[in-house]
Amino acid sequence: MRDTARIVAAVAATAVAGAVVLAARATDRRSAAAAPLDLSGFPGRLVLFTDAGCRRCDQAKAVLAAAGAEFTEAAFDREPERLHAAGITAVPLLVGRDAAGAEVGRIAGRLGRRSLGRLLVRMG
């Protein structure tokens, strides 16, 4: 009986820890979507911020390629200081700009065809 109670307690603790990690990741994505960015050194109207080994980054690149969207990629593994200086805190992050270079929208985390379509419409 004691072993069963220990197992149940361990499973419950693991579930709570998992929930805390998921909540922290969601908070990071919301922060990335709201924080002010300095994109002056990044060319292009669509800029995708990525990192090596990021599944969602690979998925975002695939969605952009399937849509035929031209984008500039900036990766943490290649230039971490530059991305930190720009205010990038989480990846993937897609930023869209209008013809004048003003930011018109962002997509943090999972990139879907519909959300990309809405961003492209806002870009004009």
pLDDT for 2: 73
Q: Per the omega criterion (within 30 degrees of 0), is the bond before 80 cis?
A: no
Tokens encoding 82? 């530059």
User: What CATH number does the domain located at 33-123 have?
Assistant: 3.40.30.10
pLDDT band at 7 (very low <50, low <70, confident <90, very high): confident
Assign 79 to helix, strand or coil.
Answer: coil
Taking the whole predicted model, whether its pTM rises above 0.75 is answered as no
| The pLDDT of residue 81 | 94
What is the per-residue pLDDT for 6?
Answer: 74
pLDDT tens digits for range 18-37:
555 555 565 555 555 567 88
| Predicted confidence (pLDDT) per residue in 37-81, tens digit | 888 889 999 999 999 999 999 999 999 999 999 999 999 999 999
* 57 within 8 A of 92, measured Cβ to Cβ: yes
